[in-house]
Amino acid sequence: MNIVFCVMLLSGVVYAATTGNLSAAQDALLSGAGEAVSLCLSLAGAYAFFGGLLAVLRESGAADALSRCLRPLLSRLLPFAPGEEKAMGDICINLSCNMLGMGSAATPAGLAAMKTMAAAGGNTGVASDAMILFFVLNSACPEILPTTMIALRAQHGAVNPADIVLPVLLSTGISAMAGIALCRLLVRGGEECA
């Protein structure tokens, strides 16, 4: 992330300087962080609400029951290090909410799972194999109904706005499988990058 961040900033500034667009760059630099703060404020309610709901699920044992059902599948999929399987309940909730397109419910569970896994590894600041694969699954997660896109297509007068459902499902499926395969190849001991 360090390299990505520096490259983005430096190339932006250099490009703005060469094209004489420095005032736009200045505005963007000053407003970007403010955008983050207002985004956080708009997310705060959802995080508090879904965080609360998740805690009820966790403390009533429903998350454990769910993770027991999906344990065989998940432990084969994610290369858990000892202790990391404690995050399985949150992982189940995160992945199922993602597929249902409830991003605001999925993220708090996903972040809780990441924290649990990081704590299991002793908070070393190094991403474990399971943490990486879980993140990759989150950035390539099949969504059963891509509602935003269907609405946008309908708004532009598509003959059949929902006809993208199957291609979306197939291409995220392929994308997720590619991600899983890559992570399998790059398990601990493999090359480091970015």
**Positions in 19-78 near another protein (CB under 8 A):** 19, 21, 24-25, 27-29, 31-33, 35-37, 39-40, 43-44, 47-62
Q: How far apart are CA 7 and CA 14, in angstroms?
A: 10
Nearer to another protein, 72 or 124 (CB): 124
What single letter denotes the amino acid at residue 9?
L
Kindly report the CA angle at 92 between 121 and 69, in degrees rounded to 5?
105
Shortest reach from residue 67's CB to another protein, in Å:
15
Closest CA to 164 of 178, 145, 180: 145
Contact (CB, 8 A) for 141 and 99: yes
Stretch that binds another protein, among 68-76, 78-86, 140-148 (CB under 8 A): 140-148
* Residue 162 is a binding residue for another protein (CB under 8 A): no
49 vs 71 by CB, closer to another protein: 49
188/106 Cα distance (integer angstroms): 27
CB of 73 to another protein, least distance (A): 19
What CA–CA distance (Å, rounded) separates 57 from 51? 10
Footprint of another protein on residues 99-118 (CB under 8 A)?
Answer: 100, 102, 107-108, 110-112, 114-115, 117-118
Q: Which lies closer to another protein via its Cβ, residue 74 or residue 150?
A: 150
- Pick the piece of the chain touching another protein (CB under 8 A) from 66-74, 75-83, 186-194: 186-194
Q: At what angle do helices 103-120 and 22-59 cross, to 10 degrees?
A: 80
Q: Give the nearest distance from C-beta 76 to another protein in angstroms.
A: 18
User: What 3-state class would DSSP assign to 130?
Assistant: helix
Q: How far does Cα 115 stand from its chain's mean position?
A: 14
> DSSP per residue over 154-180, as a string?
HHTT-SSGGGGHHHHHHHHHHHHHHHH
- C-beta closer to another protein: residue 60 or 73: 60
Please say which residue, 74 or 130, places its beta carbon nearer to another protein.
Answer: 130
The nearest distance, CB 188 to another protein, in angstroms, is 9
Site size with another protein, rule: CB under 8 A:
99
